[in-house]
Amino acid sequence: MSFLRRWSLALPAHGINGLSVLLGLGLVHLVCWALGGPTASLAAVSGAIFTSLPDTPLAPARTRLRVATGAVVGTVASVLALSLSTHPIGLALLVAVIGGVSAMGMAWGARAGPLTFVPILALVFSLAHPATANVHEITQHTLWTLCGATLYWGWAAWVSRRLQPRLRQLAVASAFRALGDLLRARGQLLALPATDTPDAQTALTHWIIHQAALDEQIQAARDLLFEAQHRPAALRLSDALLQAIELRDALMVSELDLAGLGKEDTAQDTRQALGDWLGSLGDALARQALALEQAEPPPPVEVDALQARLRYSLGQLEGLTPNRLGHILLGRGEHLLKDLTRLRAALVEGSGQPLPPRDELLRFISAEGWPLASLASQLHWHSPVLRHAVRSALALTVAYVLALWLPWASHPNWLVLSVAVVLRGNLEQTLSRRDARILGTVLGCLLVLALAITHITALSDVIFLLAAGTAHAFVNRRYLVTATAATVMALLQAHLMAPEGGFGVTERLLDTVLGAALAWGASYLFPWWEYRSIPMLAQRARRALAA
């Protein structure tokens, strides 16, 4: 039991999410196999897989809504694609419509990403199904697909409620870790004597990256915590998160004071010492994060030692700076240390500071609605979202049509999927996805060949589900793992549908390389280069500074 507990506590949030998806897919598989046999089970699992895409670590109400939306959207796309399976021209038009509409969904931001991919994945699964005009067969396939989607929706809603306490802990721990990384990055930047060296530019880049990462982690924790203020554990974690935000804000304010140290050689020792001290604060925050992750009591903060190090770091300013800079920096440092102390106290018994009212806290959670105004604002040719939508529609359609003409036994679903996952909103992301997709496909094909040689493919159903859960867990963490798992899943799905056809490893490799090349080429169609965004970003920065 202790081993299982340690193993479960070692899982990060995305690992827990991937495991819950795996178990949900397994449940759908077993239930529908018992009710309708292997064919029904495969259709139901396909419905569960596209329904699972929006199932990410969220508050229960959001999980229910997004997964239900995914079930409806995916089922509709699946029905339309299967109904047109014997009409290539109609299906090509449907591919264009789904590709364009899905890409336009990004008008609502990154939170819409999983939902926008649901109809594309449902389309891909339908393309993998043998073409049929039989109404009874289409109806039966649709009902089993809907059954799998519905079963998974119920599972996701139930699991989301059960996992909330652990997800909240991990979200706050991630925010602490990100804040610790930011403190260390600031310390490294502060310790550098000049700003025009390659090391300084690298440190500045890391500082900016860690700022963005911290903002993302804080927002994720807010979304999980601020809607659960009726639970004592959530109250303590909210208190600790607010103290972390206070510490972050105090660090930002201290930037103005630290600039007063100047760049003279005589101040470099102080800069180095203060940088090391900020790194010590980051290490202390990492220890608090580790305790949360392991569900252990938070370790005490070594206040006296940290305060002594701070005073020693600033002691060299006494004969160097006749103004109040030393006292100001000392006050800033003690403020940071006090915030860290209150953060630790909040995890145990409360920081002693009253929390804002729940209504005020709810103002800081992410928007959940899908206002049409956001979509309407992108309906002009200068919109990068609209350009990407047109680009996606054309690229996916070309991929589907080309798959019908290829000399080898091409799978249109594989070619369409390769283009869909590689083609991103800008060239940099497209190139990154291209490389990861090709390498992941090679690794996945090698794994399937190894499974075939060792005859482990007798467990194809189990391995298929394991691959689906792994792909889901790492899609936003390490896409190479997702690409590898998705290749295993696709090859096994084709094998389960038509065992006599083998595994199609060669066709998979050719379709992936061709799809990645198509996506790469399509990224130059109606491009939105970054330089065009500079006026818009400058205007936003001016408004933010004015506010």
Residue with tokens 């390498």: 439
Band of residue 144 on the pLDDT scale cut at 50, 70, 90: very high
- What is the model's pLDDT at position 532? 65
Band of residue 158 on the pLDDT scale cut at 50, 70, 90: very high
Taking CA atoms, 280 is separated from 237, 242, 255, 273, 291, in Å, by 23, 21, 18, 11, 17
Measured in residues, the chain has a length of 547
Give the residue among 385, 397, 420, 392 at the shortest CA–CA distance from 490.
Answer: 420
- What is the model's pLDDT at position 321? 45
Say if residue 318's pLDDT is above 60.
no
Tell me the pTM.
0.87
Handedness of CA 17, 19, 20, 21 (dihedral sign): positive
- What is the model's pLDDT at position 263? 62
- What is the model's pLDDT at position 501? 61
Band of residue 305 on the pLDDT scale cut at 50, 70, 90: confident
* 164-176 average pLDDT score: 93
Band of residue 33 on the pLDDT scale cut at 50, 70, 90: very high
- What is the model's pLDDT at position 5? 59
Q: What CA–CA distance (Å, rounded) separates 1 from 135? A: 52
